[in-house]
Amino acid sequence: MDHETLFEKTPPTKLFLTVTIPGVISMLVMSLYQVIDGAFVGHLLGAEAFAALNLVMPLVIINFSVADLIGVGSSVPIAIKLGQKDGKAASNIFSGACLLILGSGILLGTFIFMFAADFVRLMGADETVVAAAAQYLRVYALFSPFTTILFAVDNYLRICGKIRYSMYINILMSVLCVLFEFILLFLFRVGIWGASLATSISILICVIIAFMPFFRGKLQLRFMKPTFSREILMTILANGSPSFFSNIAGRITSVILNVFLIRMGGTAAVSAYGVLMYVDGMMLPVLYGLCDSLQPAVGYNWGAKRIDRVKALERRCFFVCGALSFLITAVVFGANRQLVGIFLKAEDVEVVALSTQALTLFAFAYLTRWFSFATQSYMSAVGKAQYAAAISLSIAFIFPVILIFSLSGLGLTGLWLNLPVSSLLCALLSIVILVRFQRKDVPRYLETEPLT
């Protein structure tokens, strides 16, 4: 099915299911790999390696976030341009974005490789953890120019209607990651760098496969000599900024939290926080896969001024996100000990007890977190970058940092409550933004000249 038939003519419920189910499956499979990755490192290499992994994970995500800035930022105007039947402009943005991601990967990868150990040392880790973390980080840095484009090309495939193809690539990547990591860590017993090497090789293989339809010229987006302009660059940066701010600010917040964790509870507290992040990495991708996979359809119909279809899709998105979030809360709250046991050995009694307590409090974040998540995705899809950025900055940095200090009197309990309280505050902010958008921005948009 071509993208026009899919996005314009498919009934809303069928369209919603068609684009979201593969997206959710993709993210579930990828989150399953993350669980296995954490379990491999925690059980095969020990608590120190697990702590090292969690200390540098924010830096790994920052490395991918720059490419994500360009990938997400270009996907929004590409979808809107296709909705406006301007394929040439869409292909121009697509081609320019690919070059920008390649260049950013070279620059940032070089920088991270050179200063990997210094980054970790600044967090206050001991030299054993520093050495392990630097090994892990440098492998990612070496592959950076060729792997950071993965999530961008995934967006481009879905924009072109290649939804199942995108899903198959994500499944393949997760399978390859598990296979290579098993070979390197379990069979060959290499150090922590084997985990990052396994992931990097798997991503590289899947990036090549993902670009094959574009190289063959079979899709609506085609490679061409791009024409860069200030307007295009600013559009990409504006639309990519919410996702970028969310990733970067969230990682900065994680670094700050790690500093407080080390001071308040040492390596055990860092490991407990790592468990929270891994569990979150199991649950949140369900919501992310649902909302993210819907963005091309929403953006396309927004560009075509089919506001009725936009609203129909978003109503389904909010309802399903809310229902899934309440289910996730019940699962995390009720199975906290079992979830902790996935990542930690039973003999690590102190860390297991601390992680279980932390996860019990952390579970309440899902009761309200879904609302701001769905709202941010909605605003990003229709090009309202200022609203999406306000939400992403608030949930990833502003509210958490304020609460780190506001709740510091509660010790580690205050840190575990950080995200639940931040999520509640951000949900309230999202309500205000949605009301303003519906009352002012939609009518103003509909009053503009109709598309030709």
Q: Sorting pLDDT into bands at 50, 70 and 90, what band is 27? A: confident
Do 232 and 92 contact (CB within 8 A), yes or no?
yes
pLDDT score recorded for residue 18: 92
The model's pLDDT over 280-308, given as tens digits with 9 standing for 90+, comes to 877 788 888 888 889 899 999 998 889 99
| Coil, helix or strand at residue 125 | coil
The model's pLDDT over 56-89, given as tens digits with 9 standing for 90+, comes to 877 887 788 888 889 989 998 999 898 888 999 9
What residues contact 320, with CB distance under 8 A and at least 6 apart? 20, 290
How far is 427 from 444, CA to CA, in rounded Å?
Answer: 25
The pLDDT of 430-435, averaged and rounded, is: 95
What residues contact 436, with CB distance under 8 A and at least 6 apart? 387
The pLDDT of 94-108, averaged and rounded, is: 94
**Average pLDDT of the chain, as a whole number:** 87
Do 166 and 152 contact (CB within 8 A), yes or no?
no
pLDDT score recorded for residue 451: 42
How far is 295 from 375, CA to CA, in rounded Å?
Answer: 12
Q: Would you give the DSSP letter of residue 84? A: T
The pLDDT of 100-112, averaged and rounded, is: 94
How far is 192 from 185, CA to CA, in rounded Å?
Answer: 8
Q: Would you give the DSSP letter of residue 396? A: I
How far is 358 from 280, CA to CA, in rounded Å?
Answer: 12
Do 137 and 196 contact (CB within 8 A), yes or no?
yes
Phi, psi of 191 (to 5 degrees): -80, -165
**Residue 444 CB coordination number (10 Å):** 9
The model's pLDDT over 245-274, given as tens digits with 9 standing for 90+, comes to 777 777 778 778 878 888 887 877 888 887
Q: Sorting pLDDT into bands at 50, 70 and 90, what band is 449? A: low
> What are the residue ranges of helices labelled H in 123-188?
127-147, 150-159, 163-181
Q: Sorting pLDDT into bands at 50, 70 and 90, what band is 450? A: very low
Highest mean pLDDT (candidates 40-44, 183-187, 235-239): 183-187
Specify the pTM.
0.79
Phi, psi of 29 (to 5 degrees): -65, -40
pLDDT score recorded for residue 56: 82
How far is 35 from 337, CA to CA, in rounded Å?
Answer: 15
What residues contact 294, with CB distance under 8 A and at least 6 apart? 16, 19, 20, 23, 313, 317, 377, 381
pLDDT score recorded for residue 213: 95
The pLDDT of 27-54, averaged and rounded, is: 79
| Coil, helix or strand at residue 332 | helix
| Coil, helix or strand at residue 362 | helix
The model's pLDDT over 362-392, given as tens digits with 9 standing for 90+, comes to 889 999 999 998 999 999 888 888 899 899 8
Say yes or no to pLDDT of 175 above 90. yes
Say yes or no to pLDDT of 2 above 80. no
**Residue 323 CB coordination number (10 Å):** 11
How far is 377 from 141, CA to CA, in rounded Å?
Answer: 29
How far is 386 from 234, CA to CA, in rounded Å?
Answer: 13
| Coil, helix or strand at residue 160 | coil
The pLDDT of 128-152, averaged and rounded, is: 91
How far is 289 from 293, CA to CA, in rounded Å?
Answer: 6
Q: Roughly what angle, to the nearest 10 degrees, separates helices 336-343 and 349-362? A: 130
Three-state SS for 173-228 is: HHHHHHHHHHHHHHHCCCCCHHHHHHHHHHHHHHHHHHHHHHHCCCCCCCCCCCCC
pLDDT score recorded for residue 1: 58
**Residue 351 CB coordination number (10 Å):** 26
Do 59 and 97 contact (CB within 8 A), yes or no?
no
Residue 260, token pair as written in the block: 């407080």
The pLDDT of 311-316, averaged and rounded, is: 94
pLDDT score recorded for residue 452: 38
pLDDT score recorded for residue 141: 94
Say yes or no to pLDDT of 50 above 80. no
Q: Would you give the DSSP letter of residue 366? A: H
Do 275 and 343 contact (CB within 8 A), yes or no?
yes
Residue 415, token pair as written in the block: 């840190």
Q: 321 exposed, middle or buried (CB, 10 Å; 0-12, 13-18, 19+)?
A: buried
What residues contact 158, with CB distance under 8 A and at least 6 apart? 19, 23, 166, 293, 296
